[in-house]
Structure formats: C-alpha cells, structure tokens
Amino acid sequence: MSEEFSLSHQVDGPVLIIRTKGYLNDLGAEQVDEICSEHLEKSVNKIVINLEQSPLINSIGISILIGVIEAIEESGGALAFTNLTPTNRKTFEMMGLLQFAEPFDKEEEAVAKYKG
C-alpha cells in the first residue's frame, strides 16, 4: 500500500501498451486516463493494460479504468487487461468491466491479437 503508483507505456504499431506498477488507489492512477486520452486522440485506439505489477486494485482504480473503457467505447477501439490476479479478475467481473474489455493471461497474447 505504501508503494507509490507509477506506469510506463509503449506504442507497438496500432497498440498502446500500458504497464502499471503499484496500488491503483493513488490519484497517480489518473495518469492512466490521461495517457489513454492522449493516444486515442492520435487514433491509437487498441489498448492493452498490463496489471501484473498492480496486484491490488481498489475502487479508485476501478473508477479510473471505467473512464478509460468509456473513452475507448466512444472511439470504437478495443481494450484488454492482462496478467490479472484472481482477486482483480473477480472484482472486474463483478463490476461489469469484462463486458467491455477482454482479459488475457499474457500481455503478448493481447498484443498479438490486436496486431493481427
């Protein structure tokens, strides 16, 4: 919980890959929203969010991811969450996030699908 949130991102062809690190309870998580909006404006609208290093996601994180989902929906793009812990997966399912975003075990699988 004390670990500060940070993230890195990378564009691979038509795909934006975001790797988060740390607990998504921090307002720092708003960066995810900012980076997605930036790239959506540049028509990079296939986004893969790798949550391997964020084993704990609380409602703050969910609210931000909802924002991202909405923006991608509006732009007609696609969103994938990868490397979800079982807890996160359950939460995402319960909150209906997985109706709008596809879960993948590995980041590469999602990227391969979106590039293909």
Partner 1 sequence: MSESEQTSSVEQKMQQQVLRYEYVLEALSDIGDELCRVSSFDAQLKSLLHLLLGTLGVRKGGIFLFDNYNKRVSLRCSWKLVHKNFEYDLPHDEITALEADSADITYRAADYKHLRGILEAFAEDNLDCISILKVREKLIGFLVVGHKLKEIPLTEKEVSFLKTLSRNISVAINNFLLLSELREANVRLDEKIQEVSILYQASQMISSELQLQALLDMAMSAISEITDIERGTTWLYEEEHRQFNLMSHLGDASKLPENLSLEDSEILQIVAERKDTFEYEKGKSQPAELKRLDEKVFGEAFVVVPILNQGEFLGLLHLCATAGANGFTSRDIRLIKVFAVQLGAAVKNAQLYEQAITDGMTKLYLHRYFKQRLPDEIKRAARFKRNLALIMVDIDHFKKLNDTYGHQTGDEVLKHVASILRRAVRTHDLPVRYGGEEFALVLPETDMTGAVAVAERIRRSIETDFLEVNGVVIKITASFGVSVFSDCADDMDSLIKAADVALYWSKEHGRNQVTAAPAKIIREVE
Query: Which stretches of the chain bind partner 1, using CB under 8 A?
Result: 25, 27, 58-64, 66-67, 69-70, 73, 90-91, 94-96, 99-100
Buried b (16+ CB within 10 A) or exposed e, 36-64: beebbeeebbbbbbbbeebebbeebbbeb
- In the bound complex, what is the minimum distance in angstroms from residue 49's beta carbon to partner 1? 15
- In the bound complex, what is the minimum distance in angstroms from residue 108's beta carbon to partner 1? 28
Query: Helix, strand or coil for residue 43?
Result: coil
- In the bound complex, what is the minimum distance in angstroms from residue 103's beta carbon to partner 1? 16
Decide whether 45 or 91 has the Cβ nearer to partner 1.
Answer: 91
Ramachandran angles phi, psi of 34, nearest 5°: -60, -45
> Which H helix or E strand runs over 79?
strand 78-82
- In the bound complex, what is the minimum distance in angstroms from residue 59's beta carbon to partner 1? 3
Cβ atoms within 10 Å, residue 96 = 10
Decide whether 14 or 100 has the Cβ nearer to partner 1.
Answer: 100
Decide whether 95 or 109 has the Cβ nearer to partner 1.
Answer: 95
